[in-house]
Amino acid sequence: MNGWTEEQISRAGLARLFEASDNVGFGLVAAAGPVEAYRIATGVSSAGPSVQRALFDVLESHGHEMRRDALTEAITRWSARWDTLAPLRDLETVRRFGGTLLTPESDWWPTALADLQLSEPLCLWVRGENPVPIPPQNRVVSIVGSRDSTSYGENVTGALASGLVGRGFTVVSGGAFGIDACAHRAALKIAAEDNPLPTLAVLACGIDRYYPAGNEGLLRNIAQRGQLISEVPPGSSASRYRFLQRNRLIAALSAVTVVVEARWRSGALNTAHHAAGIGRSVGAVPGSVQSPNSAGCHRLLRDGSAVCVTDAAEVAELAGPLAVEAVQKRAVVPALHDGLTVEDLLLLDALPVRASSTVDKLASVAGLSIAGVLAGLGRLETDGLAQRGDGGGWRKRPR
Amino acid sequence: MNGWTEEQISRAGLARLFEASDNVGFGLVAAAGPVEAYRIATGVSSAGPSVQRALFDVLESHGHEMRRDALTEAITRWSARWDTLAPLRDLETVRRFGGTLLTPESDWWPTALADLQLSEPLCLWVRGENPVPIPPQNRVVSIVGSRDSTSYGENVTGALASGLVGRGFTVVSGGAFGIDACAHRAALKIAAEDNPLPTLAVLACGIDRYYPAGNEGLLRNIAQRGQLISEVPPGSSASRYRFLQRNRLIAALSAVTVVVEARWRSGALNTAHHAAGIGRSVGAVPGSVQSPNSAGCHRLLRDGSAVCVTDAAEVAELAGPLAVEAVQKRAVVPALHDGLTVEDLLLLDALPVRASSTVDKLASVAGLSIAGVLAGLGRLETDGLAQRGDGGGWRKRPR
């Protein structure tokens, strides 16, 4: 049908009937497959005993108890949306926007989403002028944070996003004001012309909508040079529930979720908890303890949910072994006195800077034997730390 | 002898012969007791086979291998300082400064120092006009950090020290410029007149010296209203080695060591590692990732050596269960929609703010059954979240 598979058409329809993470609905798809699930959810066929049992088993295996009339109730609930169904129209809409519908049956389906288990999305509406698969999670980092960002948060976000795109990562965020917008913008700015996917915005509304309206220009840019994706069909509006559910997709697509700025209560913390819940790494950027915009980050650090990250190299390190070397380099600038024994350190401390000192005096000041002082002076002289002064005494060598 | 015990006189002498953590010297005191150790270290008596064996056992039990001639070598080393010995003069000096010499034999000896094992100091020279015992470690917090502090670090230090003294803690630091000085000053400033020990400075030089000279006024104030303590005898000067050794005392005296600001390499990190090494809690204050003065704190947070702390309540929580309640209070300010079921959250999201909506419309928008919408509206109305609009429809209740 116009090049769409039966699974795509069925999942497109189901995406309009079921809210994200509707356990009975998602369980029905797992139990009966998308095509039969769509027939059942729209009242075209009824669920036989084997489907009922499979649904019961699916829900139970995910820790959900299923009431006897749960499916009947669900169908009643879904029926309120039957007259909004027009999957082919929705599919044509996304095609018109230069996009497509990814489903778990597609080659390009991001397998990382399977970690969401029963909450794995039914499908992803994808809009991007340059069709490429979403990279595997170890090449994807999400950067999230407050809408009311500070200039500190914006600067850090820009540096992180640039550094990550420069290292070949795709930067995922939510397309919102503040930290999200900064992350997308910096990713687009640094990306080479031929970078197929510097950034990707996961929306809580349909991919044909520009929400928030103030980000329309940015979202258009992302659609041109990156991708907009959503699990809700074109035309859908965002709601608080959908924002919270959307956050699980940001977390699941990425190896690392970095929270740059977040208040004590913040949606970004919800994304971080989703990430931690499915075993993804979480990074939090520290900031002033006097800034309410960093209180949520400090909360994550304090309760152990997140690792402290201060630059792109540290984030990359969390994503995997690829970029580890860059981080460790910083630790190895040695101080002059590194590697000295306690005795030599005592002797070095005892050496005068200006005048010079006798071996006897050095033994007393440093608390070493004469023999110890002589041996130590030999080593310090070799290391360029001590030198013979006028009249045969010893002193520190000027640096 | 002028009211000093034989142990005090011997340890006073040994403190001049041995640098801190001189393994053979400290082991000799453990093996033979301070009085006999002093006689051996000064060549008055020689170590018989039983003392030699005991010394070997002490060192071995602490993981140090003892060479055959180690004691002979050590005595040669110590002999270079024999002519500086004047323990009674040193004891009279500390008495003249209104202080005393604490030894492990004293009732007031801080037992927390025993956690340093073989590096437990030989004695503590204490100077304070108001003689009181050092509180047990669970009432002591140390605050340390860079000498080249920023105004951010100084503000945070002031708030932490004030908050901790206000909660009954003694604030320990090292009497240096920067963070140390701020911690002492804030502790003195907030302390009630009758607070016997708001703050305590552990020095790397003798307690009769004002080092750094620019802190003389502050150190005098601490001696008046708090205490100056040191393991090195009066007249001793500070050295790099003594600073590093001094840090172990700061760590051991305190339940928590807080690093407020520290560069990537900093003496404060040395104190933090001493603390972690003997199982004390370490807190690090986060700051701007763009400030080199916070890089050391972030390093501690990142490698898991420290817990993120942002205020005095969180530090107090690390010190023990006493002040925990104060911290947890902050987390329980509920948002309006906390505790709603998924269905009620979907319904709340679907309710219009201005116009009103029919039950049928709400069922479609929220993806709920008619019965579900009616039940949910009842709950939301009770919670003050929904209200009946004009014409029988429903809308959100303005907040």
pLDDT of A171-216, one tens digit each? Answer: 999 999 999 999 999 999 999 988 999 999 999 999 999 999 999 9
Instruction: Kindly state whether residues B91 and B160 are assigned to the same domain.
Output: no
Average pLDDT, chain A: 92
Three-class SS of chain B: CCCCCHHHHHHHHHHHHCCCCCHHHHHHHHHHHHHHHHHHHCCCCCCCHHHHHHHHHHHHHCCCCCCCCHHHHHHHHHHCCHHHCCHHHHHHHHHHCCEEEECCCCCCCCHHHHHHHHHCCCCEEEECCCCCCCCCHHHEEEEECCCCCCHHHHHHHHHHHHHHHHCCCEEEECCCCCHHHHHHHHHHHHCCCCCCCCEEEECCCCCCCCCCHHHHHHHHHHHHHCEEEECCCCCCCCCHHHHHHHHHHHHHHCCEEEECCCCCCCHHHHHHHHHHHCCCEEEECCCCCCCHHHHHHHHHHHCCCCEECCCHHHHHHHHCHHHHHHHHHHHHCCCCCCCCCHHHHHHHHHCCCCCCECHHHHHHHHCCCHHHHHHHHHHHHHCCCEEECHHHCEEECCC
* Domain co-membership, A273 together with A285: yes
Answer whether residue A1 is part of any domain.
no
Residue A357 DSSP symbol: B
Contacts of B76 in chain A (CB under 8 A): 369-371
Banded pLDDT at A335 (limits 50, 70, 90)? low
Main-chain dihedrals φ then ψ at residue A146, nearest 5 degrees: -60, 150
Categorize the per-residue pLDDT at A369 as very low, low, confident or very high, splitting at 50, 70 and 90.
confident
Interface test with A, best of B310, B332, B333, B357 (most A CBs within 10 A): B310
* A355: contact with B, CB 8 A cutoff: no
Contacts of A348 in chain B (CB under 8 A): 240
Say whether both A235 and A369 belong to one domain.
Answer: no
Q: Are B362 and B351 in contact (CB under 8 A)?
A: yes
Dist. CA B315–CA B301, nearest whole Å:
15
Give me the pLDDT at residue B338, please.
Answer: 63
Digit-coded pLDDT (tens) for A9-33:
999 999 999 999 899 999 999 999 9
Whether B61 and B68 have beta carbons less than 8 Å apart is answered as no
In a domain, B10, yes or no: yes
Closest chain B C-alpha to A81 CA, distance in angstroms? 5
Residue A267 included in any domain: yes
**Using CA atoms, how far apart are residues A98 and A225, in angstroms rounded to an integer?**
12
Contact: B298, A289; criterion CB under 8 Å: no
Residue A326 has pLDDT above 80, yes or no: no
- Residues A273, A221 share a domain: yes
Predicted local confidence at residue A336, as pLDDT: 56
Range of the domain at A309: 128-331
- Are the beta carbons of B232 and B208 closer than 8 angstroms? no
The predicted model gives A249-276 an average pLDDT of 96
In a domain, A52, yes or no: yes
pLDDT tens for residues A64-111?
988 889 999 999 999 999 999 999 999 999 999 989 999 999 999 999
Domain boundary among B107, B124, B141: B124
Do A100 and A179 belong to one domain?
no
- CB proximity B248 to A under 8 Å: no
Q: Which residues of B touch A77 (CB under 8 A)?
A: 363, 367-369, 372
**B1 is a domain residue:** no
B117 shares a domain with B66: yes
Same domain, A212 and A323: yes
Q: Length of chain A in residues, anyone?
A: 399
- What pLDDT does A1 receive? 61
Q: Mapping DSSP to helix (H, G, I), strand (E, B) and coil, where does residue A201 land?
A: strand
Q: Hey, is the C-beta of B105 within 8 angstroms of any chain A C-beta?
A: no
The whole-number average pLDDT for the span A270-284 is 96
Domain boundary among the residues B60, B89, B124 is at B124
Q: Does B160 touch chain A (CB under 8 A)?
A: no
Same domain as B168, residue B313: yes
Counting the structural domains of chain B, the total is 3
CATH number for A387? 1.10.10.10
Q: Does A336 map to a domain?
A: no
- Rounded average pLDDT per 10-residue block, chain B, 399 residues: 91 96 96 98 96 96 90 95 96 94 97 96 95 95 97 98 97 98 98 94 97 96 97 95 96 98 93 95 98 97 96 95 45 55 85 87 87 89 84 83
Position B293 in a domain: yes
Boundary of a domain, candidates A72, A89, A124: A124
* Amino acid B336: pLDDT: 56
Instruction: Determine whether the interchain pair A364/B84 forms a contact, defined as Cβ–Cβ distance below 8 Å.
Output: yes
For chains A and B, CB pairs below 8 A equal 148
| Segments in chain A forming alpha helices (H) | 6-17, 23-41, 49-61, 70-79, 87-96, 151-166, 179-190, 216-225, 240-253, 267-277, 295-302, 312-319, 324-328, 342-350, 359-366, 370-382
Interface mutation target, options A310, A328, A338, A348, chain B, most CBs of B under 10 Å: A310
Q: How far apart are CA B94 and CA B206, in angstroms?
A: 9
Is A107 in the same domain as A34? yes
Instruction: For chain A, give the percent of residues with pLDDT over 70.
Output: 95
Residues of A in contact with B327 (CB under 8 A): none
Residue B174 lies in a domain: yes
Closest CB from A77, A337, A370 relative to B367: A77
| Window 120-159 of B, Cβ < 8 Å to A | 152, 155-156
Residue B117 and residue B135 in one domain: no
Q: Are residues A147 and A292 in the same domain?
A: yes
The reply to whether B43 touches chain A by the CB within 8 Å rule is: no
Same structural domain, B115 and B147:
no
ipTM above threshold 0.90: no
Contact at CB, B368 and A308, closer than 8 angstroms: no
